[in-house]
Amino acid sequence: MHTVKEAALITGLTEHAVRFYTDKGLVPSVQRDKNNIRMFDEESINWLLGVKCLKQSGMPIEVIKTYIDLCLEGDSSIPQRYKLIMEHKEAARIKLEEAQRHIAHLEQKTELYQAILEHRSPDTTNPGNWDNIQHMHGDVFYSPSVRKA
């Protein structure tokens, strides 16, 4: 049997994470000693490692809890677990696409800043100046006369 500290060392999690996951019901086999101290056997360590794996994929705690509940149902829940993983994968793909759009936008902004720093373009990045310039970047109109409500 392992203490929280030992479980943390074995799994590479923090002691706080071990306690948090236990409190959230993500370690169904955790036991308590006579002093109500958490004690972890090998199965509990495996649950913690499973949670760590899912958390590293970006899976939210609530979804991990659903996954664990399904695991406790046994092999009959494999189709539901597969569906849950596929849904999480799709959500991650959507986040990745969004992050790629953010990077593309920031690439444009850094090019603009480089032009400003090299005096090839006026500073159109300061909203305090937008009333004085009539200029448009792909994402912002800088003159009240051309802004669309």
Mean pLDDT over residues 33-60, rounded? 93
Q: What is the CA radius of gyration of the chain?
A: 25
**Tens digit of pLDDT for each residue in 63-122?**
999 999 999 999 999 999 999 999 999 999 999 999 999 999 999 999 989 998 999 888
Residue-wise burial string across 88-123, b where 16 or more C-beta atoms lie within 10 A, e elsewhere: beeeeeeeeeeeeeeeeeeeeeeebeeeeeeeeeee
The token duo for 124 is: 């159109």
pTM for the model stands at 0.71
| Local confidence band at 125 (pLDDT 50, 70, 90 cut-offs) | confident
Q: Which range is least confidently modeled, 9-18, 63-72, 94-103, 139-148? A: 139-148
Q: Are the beta carbons of 95 and 56 closer than 8 angstroms?
A: no
pLDDT band at 40 (very low <50, low <70, confident <90, very high): very high
Mean pLDDT of the region 117-145: 71
Residue in the block written with tokens 């899976």? 59
